[in-house]
Amino acid sequence: MKKNEINRMKLEFDALSSNEAFARQTLSIFAASLDPTLEEISDLRVVISEAVTNAVVHAYKNNGGKVVITASLYEDRRLKIKIRDWGCGIEDIEKCLQPLYTTDASGERGGMGFPIMQAMSHKFRVTSSVGHGTVLYIEFKFS
């Protein structure tokens, strides 16, 4: 384990909308040992839901694939999360970080996923390669 890391986990699952709740619950339970507040755990749950939904709907266009989440807990009450998909990738990350921007031509999606994730986490970063997938790096610091 890395310096000050007290626990880590890895979760791999199919990119199905039904697995969004599974991922959300698993990360919530994993983070519980840091005794987050109800607001902090609520923020974590929303962020995980948004991230997994993005992989299912945007990265894989509801056609399946794999999502891998790794997470580490630290002595200073931080939770670092990495969420990886091997979907279509993002052509313009900066554009996707803007509120109300969406790649969903149907108009059903509001384009608030990344802005919500940014607002509810302490650190948020996206890397992506078109045709090779996307990685989200998310960090929470619990009080």
The set of residues, in sequence order, having a beta carbon less than 8 Å from that of 8 and lying 6+ positions away, is 1, 70, 71, 72, 73
Is 24 labeled as catalytic in the residue annotation? no
How many whole angstroms separate alpha carbon 101 and alpha carbon 115?
10
Please compute Rg for the chain using Cα positions. Answer: 15
User: Is 77 designated active site?
Assistant: no
Instruction: Give the strands of the sheet with 5-14, arranged side by side.
Output: 5-14, 66-74, 78-85, 133-141, 123-129
Catalytic residue among 20, 54, 125, 139: 54
Q: How many Cβ atoms are within 10 Å of 95's Cβ, its own excluded?
A: 12
Residue 50 appears among annotated catalytic residues: yes
Catalytic-role residue among 24, 109, 125, 139: 109
d(CA 78, CA 4): 10
- The catalytic position among 20, 24, 50, 84 is 50
Give catalytic residue positions: 50, 54, 109
